[in-house]
Amino acid sequence: MIYHGLIDKKHWGDGPWMDEPDFGIWEPPTPHTICILSRRDMGHLCGYAGIRLPTDDQGLVRNLVKNNLLIKEVSRNNHKVHGGVTFTGEGSKIQLPEEVDEDWVKSYFFLGFDCAHHGDLCFLFSKYTRPESASLKRTWPVYRDWDYCKSQCESLAEQMYYSCQGVYLG
């Protein structure tokens, strides 16, 4: 599911962000995982990779022993993602658009990242412009676009899966 028009971008000026979605949920190639990208009011994107929590044989009640083991395994690994992991927890803590049913996120454990670090382009309260007289030697913030964040999210999902593969296979 992809959503456009959730954020007012008119004061940000022209750029790739104007045509990009503001929110998306998809299943990446890695089994038992889900990915979410969400744009914030400051213009940057946040990515979340979730791994499905194991259930009992009937699929009705979560197996708490396996869930605790999975969360421990996923959380203790040093996952490589843009800016490092800045979110760990239940999906119910992720801001979802009103149109998205929140019940499904309860069956996933998430790690997340954001693109609002030093060197990342964010639109605080005014339009971002590079002064014409700016020195070319100065480093300007970089906009981390949808495709970049999508690849980071899918990479994080894959890392999560392989860090706890024993929980699913053992």
Write out the two tokens for 75.
Answer: 């959380």
**How far apart (Å, rounded) are the C-alpha atoms in residues 27 and 117?**
27
**pTM assigned to the model:** 0.82
Q: Which domain holds residue 124?
A: 2-169
**How far apart (Å, rounded) are the C-alpha atoms in residues 24 and 39?**
9
The number of distinct structural domains making up the chain is: 1
pLDDT of 109 above 70: yes
- For residue 126, what pLDDT is reported? 41
Q: Using one digit for the tens of pLDDT, what is the confidence trace for 143-153?
A: 999 999 999 99
pLDDT of 51 above 50: yes
Taking the alpha carbons at both ends of the chain, their separation in whole angstroms is 33
Q: 18-32, 37-51, 60-74, 153-167: which has the minimum mean pLDDT?
A: 60-74
- For residue 19, what pLDDT is reported? 94
pLDDT of 58 above 70: no
* Average pLDDT score, the chain: 80
- For residue 56, what pLDDT is reported? 58
The better pLDDT of the pair 170, 50 is held by 50
Predicted confidence band of residue 61 (pLDDT cuts 50, 70, 90): very low
**How far apart (Å, rounded) are the C-alpha atoms in residues 70 and 149?**
25
Half-sphere exposure of 90 (CA within 13 A, CB side): 9
The better pLDDT of the pair 63, 42 is held by 42
